Every structure is written in structure tokens, then in C-alpha cells.
Amino acid sequence: MSTHRPLRQGPVVCVGETMAALAPDPLGPLDGADLLRVDVAGAESNVALYLADHGIPARWVSAVGDDPFGRRVRARIAAGGVDVSGVRVDPERPTGLLLKDPGAQGTRVHYHRAGSAASALTPDVLDDPAFADAALVHLSGITPALSSGCRALVERALRPDRPWPVSFDVNHRPALWAGRSAADVLRPLADLADIVLVGLDEAQALWGEGITDAEDVRDLLSSPRVLVVKDGDRAATAFVGDAVHSVPALKVRVAEPVGAGDAFAAGFLSGLLRRLPVDGALRLGHLTAASALGVAADHGPLPDPALLSALLDADEETWRAAVID
């Protein structure tokens, strides 16, 4: 939250690709599945949906194909209370598709998104009226991996003369960077943002095993006003200027981890936008991540409002003992 780009009233504008997602039903290895469930999946639209769940005005900007999957994606996200007026319909390119393949070692994701409508986005999307009243623009490291035009879009959104603050979730997806260096692209982009979120494991994979803790990541990404380093099911640490805040993760029954990072980002940003103390914003991030961890889909219902409120206000001992099931 740079002093040059203060938060203001308006929606959080989330920019990025959302695909149709096919997953085995019941959940299990893809090669043994007889039935597939159709859902939608996209990091930035996940953030928008959870922001809307928290009562934060959210707008998703992207492109979909003029096809049944594209119509399903738009309808599903709009039904979650997200403004989709900035979504373009491309008559020539398809909506992207992904397949989830759950297994004992985790869930593999197979992408069919080359040449998709969203991969053809270019910097001119930032001239859309959808950005005129933005309180915050949210981006992720997935978008610059999709095409040269998408990378240019993110670079323009992060220019020093931008009128709105930007949050950037590093969101490293190795499969999208085959033959290219994600590390050399994502570090300078992240360092230009106002608010950055990254997993400790992501930072280690991208920038070296010499990174052992959150402080090492802060040394690497020193420019963002706010940096959040997520350490899996252990804790999340926020660096705000020179101050350091760390909140342990909740104990959660995990159905599938996909989508938890997006949920955490939305919860944390909601906390900042609601002017919660930083520790409260981190707690709201953990509580929102629990919503995604407990379901097989990318988006699940928030905890009961009474539980949410109680845990946000709980003492540290009660927080550490809490279990979300």
C-alpha cells in the first residue's frame, strides 16, 4: 500500500485466465475415472469469488471463448457476486480447459490452454472502463507465462505511473514455463508491486535453496510495501515496512490443497481493505484458505460467520488450538 497509490473506494479488479475444469467424480486418479465433474478454475477469479464472499466489491477481467465452457465460466463467476462486465468474448479462440488428476502424491493438473481466448489478452485491456474505479488491481505470476501479450499486460499494469495499487501473487506454475526462466521474469515483476504474496517453497524453487526462511525472501523482495510469505501449514508472515507479523496456520481437514493460496490471498486482502490489524488480516487469510482446503473444488463456503468472528477475535492460545473441519 504505497503512499503514492493509496487504497480508495471501489472494486478489486482481478485480471487473469479462468478455465473450465474437469475432475474425476468421485475424486481419484484420472485414468481410472468413469465420470468427470465440470467446474471452473482460475487463480484470479478464485480471489474475486472469495473477496465477494467477504463483502468486498470484486470485478474479474479476462476473455473467454464464444463456446459453452466460456458461457459456463462467466455464469458461474457472476453467480458468486463478481462483476464480469469486463470479460471479453472472443469469437475465434476457445476457452481454456484443465484436467485434474488426483493421486497419492498430490493432484497433477493437465492444461489445454494454448491459443485460448485469455492467452490473447494484451495491454490494451487496461484501458477498459472496468479499471477506472479500481481500489486495487490483483494479478498473478500465471498471466505473464501465457503469452508475450499477457506478459506485456502485466508489465504495463505494474508501471510506476499506474494510478492504482497492485497486489501480485507469485503463483509459480512450473508447467507453464517449460524452456523459459520463470525466476528471471517473476522476481522483477513482484518487486514492482505494492502487495506481494509468495509461498516459501515457491521462493525456494524459483530463487534458490539458499532461501531458508521468510526473512530471506524479504531480503530478495525488498521493494513491496507489503510482503506475505506463506509457509504451508505452519505459518504466514507479513512484512509491512519494517514491521514483521507472523500468524500460525490453522489445523484443517484437507480434501484437496488446490485453490488454498488464492483463498488466502483474498482473505488477507479483505482484511487490509476492511482496515483490520495486520495480524487480523493474516488470520482472515488462514480462515479463508480453510474454505478451499476442505473441498475438492477451488472454491468452498466460508466458515460460519459466528466462528469466523470468534476466531478473528480469539486470544493466541485459542487460535492455535482451533481446528476447522
CB 52 within 8 A of CB 77: no
Residue 121 exposure: Cα atoms within 13 Å on the Cβ side: 33
* 3-state DSSP helix/strand/coil % of the chain, to nearest 5: 40, 25, 40
Taken in order 225, 206, 39, 14, is the CA torsion positive or negative? positive
What letters, b where the CB count within 10 A reaches 16 and e where it falls short, cover 152-167? ebbeebbeeebebbbb
CB 257 within 8 A of CB 228: no
Residues 156, 163: Cα–Cα separation, whole Å: 11
Residues 121, 62: Cα–Cα separation, whole Å: 8
Distances in Å between the Cα of 265 and the Cα atoms of 21, 161, 271 are: 21, 24, 10
CB 200 within 8 A of CB 230: yes
**Mind telling me the catalytic residues?**
262
Residues 222, 245: Cα–Cα separation, whole Å: 16
Residues 278, 36: Cα–Cα separation, whole Å: 41
